[in-house]
Amino acid sequence: MMEFKNPLFFLLLLVLLPYIVWYVMRFKQSLPSLKVPDTTKYVKAPKTFRLYLMHLPFLLRIILISLVVCILARPQSKHSWSDTDVEGIDIMLAVDVSTSMLAQDFKPNRVEALKEIAQKFIEKRPNDNMGLTMFAGEAYTQCPLTTDHTVLMNLYNSVDCNMAARGIIDDGTAIGDGIMNAILRLKESQAKSKVIILLTDGVNNSGNISPQTAAEIAKKYGIRIYTIGIGRNGMAPYPLPTGGTAMLPVEIDEQTMTKISTETGGQYFRAQKNAELDAIYQDIDKMERTKFNVKQFSRRGELYQPFALAAMAVLLLEILLRTVVLKRLP
């Protein structure tokens, strides 16, 4: 890319305007005249090529002045590049997949609504390592930390809440075990920022580790925990195995969830509908930003040489025309 270091020199081109006016007036005044009784025989007189070249020296002088002004303005080439150092964040999503997550106070239900909103969150953070822990009555790693977010979402979408019903895992809500499983994936991480986003709709009622103990261990490893309680206040419709729905009470241990997040430097949120859950993930996205260290570099080079060569060529051509082709007798 070419730019001029001293662009104000282009104001000198304004001098060309009075110079052109002066040339036109001088040319009209210097035209020779000859008085004859009849000009008929001169109308079709042949014109020499010198007549067509009459104004060429003046045009070359204009070009020469313009080239000199360009040289004074110092044309330069500029090459810019940047070196970006990305410091990503390691994030584990710890998601409750107990059968209560099938409640239909979210559309279509809690677990499917969470998948849709979590996908938007993941797509906004392409530079972060992210993993997935699932827990019900016990916890397991669905996806370890990875930057391949396509694989992460494919594994997430394959999860449903019928595993406990089918006897694959125990039903219940082991919040402490879910946190601990996520800690095991993060504790060896070299990232400066490590985060767990815990989402549940219930009260810790199973597992081998209490939520408070898990929070203390997370704090030891410098892991922040953001907790989200999902479910509307009061009663929520739950699907029945035999068909239909039943209204059951929503119980969320908000006191424990708040303690977990506060102790580790995170924050507790409550979501009672899809829009609130989406807003919570947006808030967390703003709080936990990936750090970018961008260094800008640039290199400049002088480009006056082509203009100087062109000016010399124009000057020589003007001198040649004036002294040889359009030479005037004294």
315 and 279 in a common domain? no
CA–CA distance, 198 with 200 (Å, rounded to integer): 7
pLDDT of the residue at 38:
60
Statement: the pTM of the whole predicted model exceeds 0.75: no
Residue 39 lies in a domain: no
Residue 47 pLDDT > 70? no
CA–CA distance, 319 with 4 (Å, rounded to integer): 29
pLDDT of the residue at 198:
94
CA–CA distance, 117 with 253 (Å, rounded to integer): 23
CA–CA distance, 11 with 234 (Å, rounded to integer): 77
Structure tokens at 75: 């044309």
pLDDT of the residue at 49:
63
CA–CA distance, 303 with 280 (Å, rounded to integer): 55
Residue 330 lies in a domain: no
Residue 292 pLDDT > 80? no
221 and 106 in a common domain? yes
pLDDT of the residue at 84:
59
Residue 161 lies in a domain: yes
pLDDT digits (tens, 9 = 90+) for 302-319: 888 999 999 999 999 988
274 and 250 in a common domain? yes
CA–CA distance, 214 with 228 (Å, rounded to integer): 16
168 and 24 in a common domain? no
pLDDT of the residue at 41:
56
Residue 35 lies in a domain: no
116 and 69 in a common domain? no
Residue 320 lies in a domain: yes
150 and 7 in a common domain? no
Higher pLDDT: 236 or 328? It is 236
pLDDT digits (tens, 9 = 90+) for 182-222: 999 999 888 888 999 999 988 899 899 999 999 999 999 99
pLDDT digits (tens, 9 = 90+) for 10-40: 999 998 899 888 888 887 776 665 565 665 6
Domain count along the chain: 2
203 and 128 in a common domain? yes
Mean pLDDT of the chain: 85
215 and 93 in a common domain? yes
The CATH number linked to 128 is 3.40.50.410
pLDDT digits (tens, 9 = 90+) for 72-125: 999 988 776 666 566 678 999 999 998 888 889 988 999 889 888 888 889 888
Structure tokens at 283: 């808030």
Buried b (16+ CB within 10 A) or exposed e, 184-194: ebbeebebebb
pLDDT of the residue at 283:
86
CA–CA distance, 127 with 257 (Å, rounded to integer): 28
- Residue-level length of the chain: 330
pLDDT digits (tens, 9 = 90+) for 242-260: 888 889 888 888 999 999 9
Residue 34 lies in a domain: no
209 and 65 in a common domain? no
pLDDT digits (tens, 9 = 90+) for 125-149: 888 889 999 999 999 999 999 989 9
261 and 316 in a common domain? no
pLDDT of the residue at 286:
82
94 and 71 in a common domain? no
pLDDT of the residue at 23:
85
pLDDT of the residue at 78:
77
Which range of residues forms the domain containing residue 68?
2-28+47-80+298-325
- Any idea of the CA torsion for 89, 92, 93, 99, to the nearest 10 degrees? 180
199 and 56 in a common domain? no
pLDDT of the residue at 37:
63
Max Cα distance, the chain (Å): 126
